[in-house]
Structure 1
């Protein structure tokens, strides 16, 4: 791989990994429970980490380059979902307000499940739990993901 491809591969692997670490850290250490749209933003990052990670093991420069581009597309997809989510949070458009739960329902009675649901924190997609300089976590995901995807594509374009 060329130097640009190596840099693009590193971004494709490290950016979603760090964004996921931040999201999971804010959830499990900071008590910021994710809404449904937060989870939607995570799935492309999980896939991007796996695909970009595979580039360290697969043979062939063209296959590795293709996988880096696919990871970049997934990172960009998460950024687009982040824009949609931020728009819902800032009330630019309507979105989903379904509640989510962090409570396991395995091995519980119907009454226990109902009590767990009624006592679970309701996480709305249109209400950001945290902001910095007026930007929510969804907004930061959109900014970093789209900037990262753009950088990956720019670096990969220079190698063609």
Structure 2
């Protein structure tokens, strides 16, 4: 199997796994969770474009894929900080919807957002007893995949 194919599979596996966790065990995503997925799709696309490319262009495309994965890791680090209360989320969609006392039904309906369904400062834990939130697990995965992908890009550059 070609390295770009493996990178594309590993990059696509992250958002697909996250979407799977929405259905089983029913983890609700927040806005930052959803933002972390997009760079993986970019990385997968760049890796697939690298398949037929000549070595120098392949190196650039794989480097771009590695940087895209690193962006997801950066968003995961931001998300982890929000979960830990180190800083507030920069996204207004991360705030839990609130309605004052005496709100009408129309006010309640206006404050219901279809997605995301939870605030970003509420960590989602996948494995009971393991003190790693899904954002922390994504940060680790993104760091490993970005590092390995950038290493592969460097190898392609030397060819």
TM-score bracket, shorter-length normalisation:
0.7 to 0.9
Question: Could you tell me whether the CA contact under 8 Å between 1:44 and 1:75 is conserved in 2?
Answer: yes
Which among 135, 139, 142 is matched to residue 142 of structure 1? 139
SS in 2 for 1:135: coil
Which among 18, 22, 25 is matched to residue 23 of structure 1? 18
Deviating runs (4+, > 3 A) in structure 1?
A: 118-122
Unaligned runs of 5+ in 2: 98-105
* Residue 22 of structure 2 corresponds to residue 53 of structure 1: no
Tell me the residue number matched to 1:90: 84
Which among 62, 66, 74 is matched to residue 68 of structure 1? 62
2: CA distance, partners of 1:86 / 1:19 = 17
Tell me the residue number matched to 1:106: none
Unaligned runs of 5+ in 1: 101-110
Q: 1:54 to 1:157 in 2, by over 3 A?
A: closer
Q: If the length of structure 2 is used for normalisation, what is the TM-score?
A: 0.76
1: CA distance, partners of 2:114 / 2:150 = 46
Question: Could you tell me whether the CA contact under 8 Å between 1:72 and 1:149 is conserved in 2?
Answer: yes
1: CA distance, partners of 2:70 / 2:115 = 32
Q: 1:119 to 1:50 in 2, by over 3 A?
A: closer
Which among 34, 37, 44 is matched to residue 32 of structure 2? 37
* Residue 151 of structure 2 corresponds to residue 154 of structure 1: yes
Question: Could you tell me whether the CA contact under 8 Å between 1:12 and 1:72 is conserved in 2?
Answer: no
2: CA distance, partners of 1:18 / 1:99 = 29
Tell me the residue number matched to 1:81: 75
Size of the alignment, in residue pairs? 144
Q: If the length of structure 1 is used for normalisation, what is the TM-score?
A: 0.76
Question: Could you tell me whether the CA contact under 8 Å between 2:60 and 2:153 is conserved in 1?
Answer: no
Tell me the residue number matched to 2:101: none
RMSD: 2.9
Question: Could you tell me whether the CA contact under 8 Å between 1:35 and 1:99 is conserved in 2?
Answer: no
Q: 1:62 to 1:127 in 2, by over 3 A?
A: same
Q: 1:98 to 1:116 in 2, by over 3 A?
A: closer
